[in-house]
């Protein structure tokens, strides 16, 4: 009985929580539940961080595109309106066909 206990102790050595090697190389059934929970928490946080960065990048990109569209369309609209107003002043009145 004492020999079995020593064998178990040799296979169950302490795993550092910041070391992901065991998570990928060993069957999860052999790993302590606390270690698995810690790894899964890390992966969730990593995923959330990535999503937050992507969201922030998308917001910045949308703002930049919006400001470019506004800057590009602003003068063009006023120039168009000015041209239409100027051309309507110089046009002869149209005759109506009844």
| Structure confidence by residue, pLDDT tens digits, 49-81 | 999 998 998 888 888 888 877 776 655 555 555
Query: Which of the pair, 46 or 96, is modelled with greater confidence?
Result: 46
Q: How confident is the model at residue 83, as a pLDDT?
A: 58
Give dist(CA 51, CA 98) in Å, integer.
66
pTM of the model: 0.51
DSSP 12: S
| Structure confidence by residue, pLDDT tens digits, 10-57 | 455 788 878 999 999 999 999 999 999 999 999 999 999 999 998 998
Give dist(CA 64, CA 68) in Å, integer.
6
- Which residue has 């060993």 as its token pair? 26
């Amino acid at each position: 009985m004492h020999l079995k206990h020593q064998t178990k102790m040799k296979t169950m050595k302490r795993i550092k929580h910041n070391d992901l090697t065991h998570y990928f190389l060993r069957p999860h059934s052999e790993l302590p539940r606390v270690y698995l929970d810690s790894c899964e928490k890390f992966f969730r946080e990593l995923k959330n961080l990535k999503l937050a960065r992507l969201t922030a990048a998308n917001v910045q990109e949308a703002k930049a595109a919006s400001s470019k569209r506004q800057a590009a369309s602003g003068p063009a609209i006023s120039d168009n309106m000015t041209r239409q107003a100027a051309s309507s002043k110089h046009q002869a009145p149209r005759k109506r066909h009844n």
